[in-house]
């Protein structure tokens, strides 16, 4: 009898193709893994509203990790304990002040599924319209509009100010926040509360399902996947991923454009795949 595994899937650059879809082969493979008793979860930096569509497409019935671990919840089971760990609003306002001083292009704050945008920007709004059209969006000066502890901040700095901003965040706020840069084509700095990462969510879910560490398979491609890949017994980096991730991973699979997730799961779990 095969032992069941917990499979954690990052979305962008990992499960999803560059067109932001799940390929037929990978979708078939993931669903076969579920049918054979394995547990599949999504672990993403995205908010709930921008990942729930893929959750339903895969027909999942498991907890989900959003905002890189700042939100851990179960979309279909309200009895499951929600873990929401926002950053202190005082810290957020200090960071917003520093961003104003640097004259960044824009700042976006999120409280669960509520979006606060400092300045109206059609391109940024388009990114968030891949989700529900009824997403609450408040536009205006964040110093005045933001009144609760935010789940995350997304900073859109000028390219020449990225290093300066990150150095500032490390020097003045390292004890309270984590900050990461999104991969291409975005020059976005994402900020969440200190200690929040995907491994935190994965550990909670593994404990819930009583899955030992050596039966956790995690896939990722960017620096927000480092802790999760390092934590998992079977950490898998995508070929299109950053070198730092490949160096700590147990395996490197094909790119997100070449069904890397599907191919690895087929072989590693010896799945009985029906033709797509």
Q: Which residues are catalytic?
A: 10
145: left (phi over 0), alpha (psi -120 to 50) or beta: alpha
Please classify residue 168 by burial: count the beta carbons closer than 10 Å to its beta carbon, then call 0-12 exposed, 13-18 middle and 19+ buried.
middle
Tokens 């962008």 appear where? 12
Tell me the two tokens of residue 199.
């491994």
Nearest-angstrom CA–CA distance, 256 and 111 = 30
Helices 260-268 & 24-35 angle (0-180, nearest 10): 30
Contacts of 162 (CB under 8 A, 6+ apart): 181, 187, 189
142 φ/ψ angles, rounded to the nearest 5 degrees: -65, -25
Residue 229 near residue 236, CB atoms below 8 Å: yes
Taking CA atoms, 56 is separated from 25, 41, 191, 261, in Å, by: 17, 12, 27, 18
Contacts 24+ apart (CB under 8 A), 55-62: 57/22, 57/27, 58/22, 58/27, 58/30, 58/31, 58/34, 59/31, 59/34, 60/34, 62/205
Evaluated on CA atoms 157, 177, 248, 27, the torsion sign reads negative
């Amino acid at each position: 009898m095969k032992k069941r595994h917990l499979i954690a899937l990052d979305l962008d650059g990992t499960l999803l193709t560059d067109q932001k879809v799940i390929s037929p082969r990978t979708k078939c493979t993931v669903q076969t893994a579920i049918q054979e008793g394995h547990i599949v979860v999504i672990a993403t930096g995205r908010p709930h509203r921008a990942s729930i569509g893929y959750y339903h497409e895969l027909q999942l019935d498991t907890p989900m990790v959003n905002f890189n671990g700042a939100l851990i919840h179960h979309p279909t089971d309200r009895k499951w304990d929600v873990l929401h760990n926002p950053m202190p609003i005082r810290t957020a306002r200090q960071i917003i002040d520093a961003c104003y001083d640097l004259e960044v292009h824009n700042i976006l704050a999120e409280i669960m599924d509520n979006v606060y945008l400092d300045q109206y920007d059609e391109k940024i709004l388009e990114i968030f319209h891949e989700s529900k059209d009824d997403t609450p969006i408040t536009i205006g000066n964040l110093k005045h509009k933001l009144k609760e502890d935010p789940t995350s901040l997304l900073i859109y700095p000028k390219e020449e100010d990225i290093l300066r901003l990150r150095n500032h965040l490390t020097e003045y706020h390292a004890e309270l926040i984590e900050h990461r840069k999104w991969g291409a084509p975005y020059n976005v700095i994402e900020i969440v509360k200190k200690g929040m990462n995907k491994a935190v969510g994965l550990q909670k879910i593994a404990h819930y399902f009583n899955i030992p560490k050596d039966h956790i398979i995690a896939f990722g491609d960017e620096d927000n996947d480092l802790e999760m890949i390092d934590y998992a017994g079977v950490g898998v980096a995508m070929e299109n991923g950053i070198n730092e991730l490949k160096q700590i991973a147990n395996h490197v699979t094909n790119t997100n454009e070449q069904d890397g997730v599907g191919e690895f799961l087929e072989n590693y779990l010896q799945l009985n795949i029906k033709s797509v």
